[in-house]
Amino acid sequence: MGEAIVVTSGKGGVGKTTSSANIGTALALLGKKVCMVDTDIGLRNLDVVMGLENRIIFDVVDVATGTCRLEQALIKDKRFETLSLLPAAQTKDKLALKEDAMHKIIDQLKEQFDYVIIDCPAGIEHGFRVAITAADKAIVVTTPEQAAVRDADRVIGLLEQQQIPSPKLIVNRIRPTMVKNGDMLDIDDIISILSLDLLGIVPDDEHVIRAANKGEPTVMRPDSPASMGYRNIARRIIGDPVPLMTLQVDEGGFFQKMKKWMGRR
């Protein structure tokens, strides 16, 4: 029996889909059987980030309404045998997916997979409620911005109402230089406001955008800082105690340092 984890944030654009894709892939890298479920009906994009868009035939609404069997809608990842995706519907109505149908699908998936990662839509309306209804655990993604932290706080309150025990926190898109200069919210500040356990931090990384456009999750590249962040998060999910990564302030390359040194003279 697997575990269903919902990835949510409240605010849009903080990296729910990117986090879902990367956590899912990183768990598959660790040899786990993982299924990712996109519940953002009408605005699906987990399939795009994973580069599996061209393989969609059926979607989650088709399964819910009984148009097809669950196995028919599942898409096998092109890189990992153990990784699957259940895509969202793009053309159907948001209300087409009901809470009891979602329960049934997730329960079925939990029998086949070790981890079911549910990518939640932005907002706190119907789509959000359906996405969290069947989750055993929750991961709240936020960025070091006041607005994102406020929304995360609201979402945590709603998760607690749903009896989802102690959600875990991911602070995404941290810029070490800005945090160091005090221009960005400190990780400690965020934790003290939200009073949650920190699951991991992900530094801001250009490679994430490049990878998403190529349809390849960032974790596939071991040399990117964001990839390290997500790999650590995946290891913590399976129960490995990994120390928190230290943020390194980017001093620039050799030539930049050289220039600085020259300029100082």
Partner 1 sequence: MGRSVRSIQKNVSELVTVKGIRHGLLFVLSDQADFAEVIKELGRKIPTSLSNLEAKVTVYFDTGERELGDDAKQAIYALFEDHKNLTIGGYEGSPSPLVVKAKEPYVFKGTVRSGMVIEHDGDVVILGDVNPGAQVIASGDIYVMGHLRGSTHAGATGNHKAVIAACYFSPIQIRIAHVLSRGPDVKASAAEMEFAYLNGEQMAIEQLAYLGQHRAHVASFVRL
> Which one of residues 145, 153, 186, 204 is an interface residue with partner 1 (CB under 8 A)?
153
- Binders of partner 1 in range 176-195 (CB under 8 A): 192-193, 195
Please say which residue, 52 or 196, places its beta carbon nearer to partner 1: 196
Q: Is the CB of 188 or the CB of 206 nearer to partner 1?
A: 188
> Nearest approach, Cβ of 247 to partner 1 (angstroms)?
22
Minimum distance from CB of 156 to partner 1 (Å)?
A: 6
Q: Which of 137, 150, 175, 235 binds partner 1 (CB under 8 A)?
A: 150
Q: Among residues 191 and 220, whose Cβ is nearest to partner 1? A: 191
Q: Is 173 within 8 Å of 143 (Cβ atoms)?
A: yes
CB of 175 to partner 1, least distance (A): 19
The reply to whether 157 sits near partner 1 by the rule CB under 8 A is yes
Number of residues located near partner 1, criterion CB under 8 A: 11
- Residue nearer to partner 1 on the CB measure, 29 or 159: 159
Q: Which one of 21-29, 152-160, 170-178, 257-265 is the stretch in contact with partner 1 (CB under 8 A)?
A: 152-160
User: Residue 178 burial by CB count (10 A; 0-12/13-18/19+): exposed, middle or buried?
Assistant: middle
Confirm or reject binding of residue 158 to partner 1 (CB under 8 A). Answer: yes
User: For partner 1, which is the closer residue by CB, 181 or 248?
Assistant: 181
The residue from 154, 210, 214, 257 that contacts partner 1 (CB under 8 A) is 154
Shortest separation between residue 185's beta carbon and partner 1, angstroms:
11
- Using CB under 8 A as the binding rule, whether residue 12 contacts partner 1 is answered as no
Choose, by CB under 8 A, the member of 38, 114, 119, 151 that binds partner 1: 151
How far apart CA 205 and CA 21 sit, in angstroms, is 16
Task: Draw the binding track, 195-224, toward partner 1 (x: CB under 8 A; -: no contact).
Answer: x-----------------------------
Do 29 and 231 contact (CB within 8 A), yes or no?
Answer: yes
Q: How far is CA 235 from CA 200, 231, 232, 241, in A?
A: 10, 6, 5, 8
For partner 1, the binding residue among 160, 197, 240, 250 (CB under 8 A) is 160
Token look-up 């129960």 returns: 239
Contacts to partner 1 by CB under 8 A: 150-151, 153-154, 156-158, 160, 192-193, 195
